[in-house]
Structure 1
């Protein structure tokens, strides 16, 4: 089977005059949630048994993540009144640990640097054994969770802290992170009996910003009946806690969504979880173009599009990629890049944002390069719809032989459709959910699907905004 066929059929959809003629309805909705991404478990006590009692002992595994996005989960089977449990990262650089003390009835986060231990935050907690205990690192944000259901599916955050952690240690620094490995053990003077211990790369509290992986000419990247797409994996907190991943969607069974790659980015001396972008395979140059938005260190002082090219298989495994700024024809912030080579010219759709505070203001824009130039060469502005101020999720898509730029207008609650001169043609006939759902439409057989998301939050009272959303599939 070629990458461009599904069951022997062409990926070209049935004839439609324009995207405005498509009529979408929701067919599938579910919530991807994993403290550890299933394919990215790095340590499992089933393979290396550690089923014994601990009394204030910390075990280090020597296994570490290459980016500050990791999780340790521990089954606590029994706990004396003077005992506790701890989990996190530890090594030559110190430690970043979450803990629960039965004696004091508190859970907290403890940072040790230079031999000095500091509890940066703690809260009252009552966790009768058996229960699950977890420590999650997302960038410099550290979150302690517990699962009192005993099922491994009832994780709820007890507390989270970012500023207090960053004041003592910077987990984004690859030198610091390189000296920290997954760790776990007991706490206090009593006996702590542990069961299964697992550690690995953090998964997601939800997903957003879907963008289909494609070839340079716009054909979706499909292999073995699975559509490849990138999505932002929502972290346990704001934009800096999210990271980027590659997923596959089984076209025969859209309930089968699987993460197959985890992508991180090194810039300015640190490793970040930049996200909200697109991967394009350039068949002519035989490399991947990877473009993303600089949300990994967002602090309300601007966002820009970054990029790189690589021959590494970024559609599987874990990668840390060095990137540089994509020179778009704009003097303001930008994000959500969408790249396609149309009639010999690279076109790049993106969001322009003149302000992020006191309120976000953003609208769609389109640039194009000269014929024969590469995607990052001599881009010039084609147009921008500055009449809008809450519009993102730019998508370039070909329908019935014509190319269009799609976007999502959070103010008007619909999806505007433009031609390649940025002339507005109408709106998609599709239900508009919460947040600013992206109109990622893709041809499947002789039908059209839209892959998008909403603003359903996870544990917002503890974690704040950012832990969204649900995965939605619409069909036309």
Structure 2
């Protein structure tokens, strides 16, 4: 089944579906407000905006900074991404020919083209010296425009900005299956031979060219980076959190990143790390997870969901540990499957060590087709055991079937498991035996927004997202995610 062929209403029902860092500026909520419970908090939306970047600002790998000139041939930059998530952006000051951009190597390439005279854009794959046009579309552009080719996993998308500002990108064609039938960019030996490339044929004047890691068409699944005991990472007044960076298409086109949010100004959001994962011989953009720093061992525990190769045949939680600073830079991490006390699919891990025992909240899903069915669950390990050892099921709420976004959070003296119920359009609250206690008083937007709660000074914040799509008629479902910040005093 192709992502573009999925009924959006069905999806909205289903999936809508060093290393020791200093904590500063946050006081544990139980110390500030000992009588507080989640039901004393009354949230209102204070900020809503859309992060959008074809290249993540900190992750530009190539910048020509050249004066306009005629590009007579394909230029290989000599730099490449470590995972198949990259973009090439080209300023075209005059075009009476064809502009080209993408990835290219010896005898192999994946390129987008735009012939301004003929008014035609294509996606072309070359393997063994043989070129195949896998998709084309009619496109009309003015004499000067901006041109971009984005690779998300094996999906290739051609975009144009006819305003010349670089702020009004519109996709004109995209293709994944046709590209994958000829080449697999997820394989390191394949991608490792392809450079960012650009050029022109005919009378084409090219100005500045930039290339680097793809940013995002939106964001979702926010989860605060935390210490093992649940304290959030805050450094220099900035909160660290992970989010799924929406790609230009379905879930395989998304990837995972670490961001900082300025607590003095929640509109100041900055991506500081990009995380990819190697498994089964390929590099993927698995996402929807959590990073926990274990202060006792000096390691980062990294958990994520296996959405990177999702094909309606199951999802599971994966994990790894590392002493590398995953809160900065680009990382490709090998992972393994986390042994959970469930026989069905799982995603959205939330891990915290409470009273000497690791507890892991997650989503159980017994089906992903013809419709998604999923509910929250909680597992715990023996006292003193490591986070992945001998996890046993504490409980699950099987009365719901559209509930995900599990979060473990302390409010006042007690710990709670929070989730998001897409059917009831509310945020259920459970105790550590998975007994439902009530629901949060907070606005419920579109999609299934996750209730990422955290204390900030004398306030409580909820950081979440909504289902606002980007260019769905061309890209299909999956490019959603406005960032939403709520506050409760």
What interval of TM-score do these two structures reach, taking the shorter chain for normalisation?
over 0.9
The 8 Å contact of residues 360 and 390 in structure 1, kept in 2 or not, is answered as yes
1:326-475 to 2 correspondences below 5 Å? 326-475=338-487
Cα shift at 1:105: 1.5
The alignment partner of 1:191 has SS state of strand
- Quick one: distance in 2 between partners of 1:54 and 1:310? 44
> 5+ unaligned residues in a row in structure 1: which ranges?
none
1:14 aligned residue: 33
In structure 2, C-alpha distance between the alignment counterparts of 1:184 and 1:378, rounded to whole Å: 52
Match of 2:94 in 1: 78
**For 1:23-38, what aligned pairs fall within 5 Å after superposition?**
23-38=42-57
Question: Are 2:247 and 2:254, in contact at CA under 8 Å, matched by a contact in 1?
Answer: yes
| Alpha-carbon shift at residue 376 of structure 1 (Å) | 0.1
Work out the CA distance in 1 between the residues paired with 2:275 and 2:24. 27
Alignment pair present for 1:51 and 2:68: yes
Aligned 8 A contact 1:93 1:180 in 2 = no
Match of 1:124 in 2: 138
CA distance, structure 2, for counterparts of residue 261 and residue 416 of structure 1: 31
- Cα deviation 1:276-318 (Å, max 9, x = unaligned): 0000000001100000000000000000000000000000000
Secondary structure of the 1:240 match is helix
TM-score, normalised by the number of residues in structure 2: 0.94
For 1:60 and 1:51, locate their aligned partners in 2 and report how far apart those are by CA, in whole Å: 18
Tell me if the contact between 1:3 and 1:224 (Cα under 8 Å) persists in the aligned partners: no
Runs of 4+ in 1 over 6 A off after TM superposition: none
Cα distance, 1:93 vs. partner?
Answer: 5.4
Q: Distance in 2 between matches of 1:17 and 1:195?
A: 58
Contact 1:5–1:11 at 8 Å: present in 2 too? no
Unaligned runs of 5+ in 2: 1-20
TM-score w.r.t. length of structure 1: 0.97
Offset, 1:365: 0.1
Match of residue 127 from structure 2: 113
Query: 2:250, 2:203 → 1: CA distance?
Result: 37
Given that 1:369 and 1:375 are in contact with CA atoms closer than 8 Å, whether structure 2 keeps it comes out as yes
Equivalent residue number for residue 169 of structure 1: 183
Q: Distance in 2 between matches of 1:268 and 1:464?
A: 27
Give the C-alpha shift of residue 141 in structure 1: 0.3
2:479 & 2:117 partners in 1: Cα distance?
32
Match of 1:194 among 180, 188, 206: 206
- Say which SS state the counterpart of residue 5 (structure 1) adopts: coil
Match of 2:15?
none
**How many residues get paired?**
466
Aligned partners of 2:116, 2:355: CA distance in 1, in Å?
A: 67
Q: CA deviation at 1:50?
A: 6.0
- CA distance in 2 between counterparts of 1:248 and 1:282 reads 20
| Pairwise CA RMSD | 1.0
